[in-house]
Each structure stands twice: as structure tokens, then as C-alpha cells.
Amino acid sequence: MAGRVSVPEFKKERDRLNEIVMKYAGLETKRFYNLDSQVYRKGGALPVKIKELLGLVASLVLRCDECIKYHIIRCSEEGLTDQELEEALSISLIVGGSITIPHLRRSWDTWEELKHSK
């Protein structure tokens, strides 16, 4: 089992690593980062909270812990409820199968940390 990284540590390390990426980034990488930001922006047909939920479900099915943690944080910032998260994670479990259970556990662990830090 991987060591637990707190939300503040995660944010700090993610920012640090993104700075390094951007230091070396060519046009293609910069465009990809911009596109990623744009699809989650306000406006459009879907509210940001739903866009972040979609990102979370996809990340859990793909089993990317860093992406999962990022989207859990964003969902919390967008005012997601426990019940909304439970439904989204249930969909992730159905689509991804039992192999996603460790990621489901870490998702709830991050959610708990965020709830207790408010």
C-alpha cells in the first residue's frame, strides 16, 4: 500500500512538478495543459461540478490516484455532497469493477480529510 499524502502536500507537490513541466514544455505540452483547463471551465452546457464528477469517474476507472485526488479536491471545492460523491463512485465501481476498490478506498480517505479540514 502506498504511503498516504495529505491534501496540502499533494497540492504543493503537484504545483512544484507542474512548474518543472512548464519549464521544459514545448508547444504541444502547453496546448494539452490549456485544453485540459478549458474543458473544466465555467460556462457551457454542464456545470463545473458535473465536469469534475465526470473527470473523477474517468480517473477512478483508469485507476490514476493522482487524478482521482485532484478531482476529489475539485469536487469538494465545487460543493459536492456525500450523496453525490457516493453515486459517482458507485458508477465508477460498476464500470471499473473490483480492481477499482483500492482507489475507491483512497477516494473516501481524501474526502474524509477534506471534510475534517473545513
Distance CA 42, CA 49 (A): 9
pLDDT tens, position by position, 21-73:
999 999 999 999 999 999 999 989 999 999 999 999 999 999 999 999 999 99
pTM: 0.92
Number of other CB atoms surrounding residue 110 within 10 Å = 24
Look at residue 28 in the predicted model and tell me its pLDDT.
Answer: 97
Residue 3 pLDDT exceeds 80? no
Which residue shows C-alpha cell 479536491? 73
C-alpha cell of residue 38: 478549458
Say what percent of the chain tops pLDDT 70.
Answer: 98
The span from the CA of 16 to the CA of 64, in Å, is 19
pLDDT at 2 over 90: no
Predicted local distance difference test score (pLDDT) of residue 4: 87
- Give yes or no for residue 96 having a pLDDT over 90: yes
